């Protein structure tokens, strides 16, 4: 079977790398891909915003499955247009993708189906948003309703900060994404990224990871798309996974099905594990990046049949198998990230890093220039490793970083700290 992967990040490299290992897979194409993806797939220039062009490519190249990596094409309805053309695809419809496309949509769904999440209000003007703030306890969270590339969230410690965040949203700081504002209670606890494959009716747990959102060591500095991740997440015990499936994932899947907008794809629940148990911070309608990279490396099962079962509605018949141990990924970013990253610097030593036992380097933002690999984004590399423990996986990932020669890049030095502290505690 021929596969088309839509996207250009480390998530898509990890998906391509994993799918390429399937005996069912013949050719992989990626639109647009990157220099790392090009080692396992043919990168093509089709504009993914032009759904007609994507459909024409699929027909001309006998594509058996389109895997849609990022949220933007999902929210734009690529899955709907592929469905109308009779082309099998992995990723939800535009209406189901509202789970990520509108925070207010998700909060209303939670209210309707009794899914645990912080109390909230939705507003389309500053005056009523500020009126709601009166009498709420601090801290409180102010969010632009729409897609804001992870930047539309302010955790306000005072009513003044919250009011300023409301004004910034309505003044256009996040463009159209901020024309509606959600204000919600602050949830206190440990965060986890939880994944479930959903075929519209059946949902199966697909692992949990922990991300590191802040740019600096010790969780300092501005928020990013994610500076590193590992799986499994120790906070997601069997009991927490069962509760998350029963209290959050299954009611969501059943609720969307009952509304006539079934969810097919991977549901990524951003969770806060509070004193009460798992509560939903937000949904994403795609794999996390960099969480996908560690999941693909820990997964032992063939990924392609899982994607096909999700698309075909046969997840009730699949079983999952994972490697023992843990996987961890460290993001290497270009100087300037998460502001404006420097582009075009050369990265050396990638083959030597890849050759280290248990290590795979996924490309997140690179481009090939002849035999050279150049930085071409904010997050550039995902140095990913498997080990018997998070501690061992981390040691391997940083050993690989040591042999990568890229003075213009940087990374955090403490990815996995929470799990490693727990592992140290467990061994005394
Ligand atoms: P988001 O862009 O929605 O992923 O939010 C970014 C980050 O803000 C999350 O990963 C959390 O760390 C934090 N956050 C968002 N909503 C809440 C909340 N209600 N309570 C506590 N932290 C939150
Ligand atoms: N790593 C968080 C995300 O993909 O949204």
CATH number of domain containing 214: 3.30.470.20
**Statement to judge: residues 221 and 312 lie in one domain:** yes
Could you say which of 179, 198, 214 is where a domain stops? Answer: 179
- Assess whether 134 and 58 both reside in one domain: no
Q: What percent of the chain has pLDDT over 70?
A: 99
Model pLDDT, residue 25 = 98
Index of the ligand 1 atom closest to the CA of residue 185: 19
Assigned domain for 120 exists: no
Sign of CA dihedral 82, 88, 90, 95: positive
CA distance 357 to 204: 31
| 221 and 302 belong to one structural domain | yes
| Local confidence band at 373 (pLDDT 50, 70, 90 cut-offs) | very high
- Per-residue pLDDT of 219-248, as tens digits, reads 999 889 999 999 999 999 999 999 999 999
Domain final position from 94, 117, 139: 94
Kindly give the distance from the C-alpha atom of residue 45 to the centroid of ligand 2, in angstroms, as a whole number.
Answer: 25
In this predicted structure, the answer to whether residue 258 has a pLDDT above a threshold of 90 is: yes
Q: What is the pLDDT of residue 135?
A: 86
358 and 296 assigned to the same domain: no
- Model confidence at 428, in pLDDT bands (50, 70, 90)? low
Q: What pLDDT, on a 0 to 100 scale, did the predictor assign at position 407?
A: 97
Which of 266, 296, 317 terminates a domain? The answer is 317
Q: Mark whether 275 and 347 lie in a shared domain.
A: no
CATH (domain of 42): 3.40.50.20
60 CA → ligand 2 middle, Å = 33
**Same domain for 154 and 204?**
no
Residue to substitute in 225, 329, 412 for testing ligand 2 pocket (most ligand atoms within 8 angstroms of CB): 225
Q: What is the pLDDT of residue 33?
A: 96
Is residue 103 in a domain? no
Whether 147 and 79 share a structural domain: no
Q: Give me the CATH number covering residue 137.
A: 3.30.1490
Q: Which residues line ligand 1 (CB under 6 A)?
A: 118, 141, 150, 153, 155, 184, 186-187, 191, 213, 270, 272, 281-282
Task: Say what the pLDDT of residue 286 is.
Answer: 97
User: Global pTM?
Assistant: 0.95
Model confidence band, residue 346 (pLDDT cutoffs 50, 70, 90): very high
- Is the residue at 346 inside a domain? yes
- Residue 101 counted as domain residue: no
pLDDT at 178: 79
Model pLDDT, residue 160? 92
Residue 346: domain span: 326-427
Determine the average pLDDT of the residues in 178-185: 90
Q: Does 206 share its domain with 264? A: yes
Q: What is the mean pLDDT of residues 163-170?
A: 91
> What is residue 151's predicted lDDT score, i.e. its pLDDT?
74
pLDDT digits (tens, 9 = 90+) for 324-337: 999 999 999 999 99
The answer, yes or no, to whether any atom of ligand 2 lies below 6 A from the CB of 9, is no
111 lies in some domain: no
Q: What's the pLDDT score for residue 331?
A: 98
Task: Kindly tell me if the per-residue pLDDT of 426 is higher than 90.
Answer: no
Q: pLDDT per residue over 108-134, tens digit each?
A: 999 999 999 999 999 999 999 999 999
Top-confidence residue, 174 or 401: 401
Whether the predicted pLDDT of 177 surpasses 80: yes
pLDDT at position 174 is: 82
339 and 300 fall within a common domain: no
Tell me if 148 is assigned to some domain: yes
What does the pLDDT read at residue 240? 98
Q: Per the domain annotation, does 284 fall within a domain?
A: yes
Read off the tokens for 137: 């306890």
199 and 304 part of one domain: yes
- For residues 307 and 255, state if they share a domain: yes
362 Cβ contact list (under 8 Å, min separation 6): 10, 13, 14, 17, 36, 293, 329, 381, 382, 384
Instruction: Compute the distance from residue 286 Cα to the ligand 2 centre, in Å.
Output: 9
Q: Give me the chain's average pLDDT, please.
A: 95
CA angle, 317 then 320 then 326, to 5° = 170
Cβ atoms 361, 350 nearer than 8 A? yes
How open is the CA angle 197-18-204, to the nearest 5 degrees? 15
Residue 108 lies in a domain: no
Calculate mean pLDDT across residues 408-425: 95
Ligand 1, residue 103: give the atom nearest the CA.
Answer: 3
Residue nearest to atom 2 of ligand 2 (CA): 288
Beta-carbon contacts of residue 56 (< 8 Å; ≥ 6 apart) = none
Q: How far is the CA of 207 from the centre of ligand 2 (A)?
A: 14
Domain count, the chain: 4
Q: Nearest ligand to the C-alpha of residue 228?
A: 2
Are 198 and 154 found together in one domain? no
């Amino acid at each position: 079977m021929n596969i088309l992967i839509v996207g250009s990040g480390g998530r898509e490299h990890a998906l391509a790398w994993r799918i390429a290992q399937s005996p069912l897979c013949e050719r992989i194409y990626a639109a647009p891909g990157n220099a790392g993806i090009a080692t396992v797939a043919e990168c093509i220039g089709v504009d993914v915003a032009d759904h007609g062009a994507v459909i024409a490519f699929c027909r001309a190249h006998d594509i058996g499955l389109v895997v849609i990596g990022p949220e933007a094409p999902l929210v734009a309805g690529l899955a709907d247009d592929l469905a109308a053309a009779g082309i099998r695809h992995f990723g939800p419809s535009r209406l189901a993708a509202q789970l990520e496309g509108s925070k207010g949509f998700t909060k209303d769904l939670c209210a309707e189906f009794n899914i645990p999440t912080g109390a909230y209000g939705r507003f389309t003007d500053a005056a009523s948003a500020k009126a709601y703030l009166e009498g709420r306890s601090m801290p409180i969270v102010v969010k632009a309703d729409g897609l804001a590339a992870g930047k539309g969230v302010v955790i306000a410690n005072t009513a003044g900060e919250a009011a300023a965040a409301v004004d910034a949203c309505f003044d256009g700081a996040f463009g159209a994404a901020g024309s509606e504002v959600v204000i919600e209670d602050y949830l206190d606890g440990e965060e986890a990224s939880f994944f479930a494959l959903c075929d519209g009716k059946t949902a199966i747990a697909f692992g949990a990871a922990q991300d590191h959102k802040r740019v600096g060591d010790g969780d300092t500095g501005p928020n990013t798309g994610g500076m590193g991740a590992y799986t499994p997440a120790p906070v997601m015990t069997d009991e927490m996974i069962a509760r998350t499936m029963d209290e959050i994932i299954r009611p969501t899947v059943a609720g969307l099905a009952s509304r006539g907008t079934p969810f097919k794809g991977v549901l990524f629940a951003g969770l806060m594990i509070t004193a009460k148990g798992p509560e939903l911070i937000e949904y994403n309608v795609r794999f996390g990046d960099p969480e996908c990279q560690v999941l693909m490396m820990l997964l032992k099962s063939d990924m392609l049949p899982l994607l096909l079962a999700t698309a075909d509605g046969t997840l009730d018949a699949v079983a999952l198998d994972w490697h023992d141990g843990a996987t961890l990924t460290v993001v290497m970013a270009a100087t300037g990230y998460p502001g404006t990253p420097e582009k075009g610097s050369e990265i050396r030593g990638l083959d030597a890093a890849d050759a280290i036992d248990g290590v795979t380097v996924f490309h997140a933002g690179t481009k090939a220039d002849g035999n050279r690999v150049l930085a071409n984004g904010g997050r550039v590399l995902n140095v990913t490793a498997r080990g018997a423990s998070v501690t061992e996986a981390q040691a391997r990932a940083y050993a690989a970083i040591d042999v990568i020669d890229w003075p213009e890049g940087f990374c955090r030095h403490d990815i996995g700290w929470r799990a490693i502290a727990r592992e140290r505690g467990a061994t005394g």
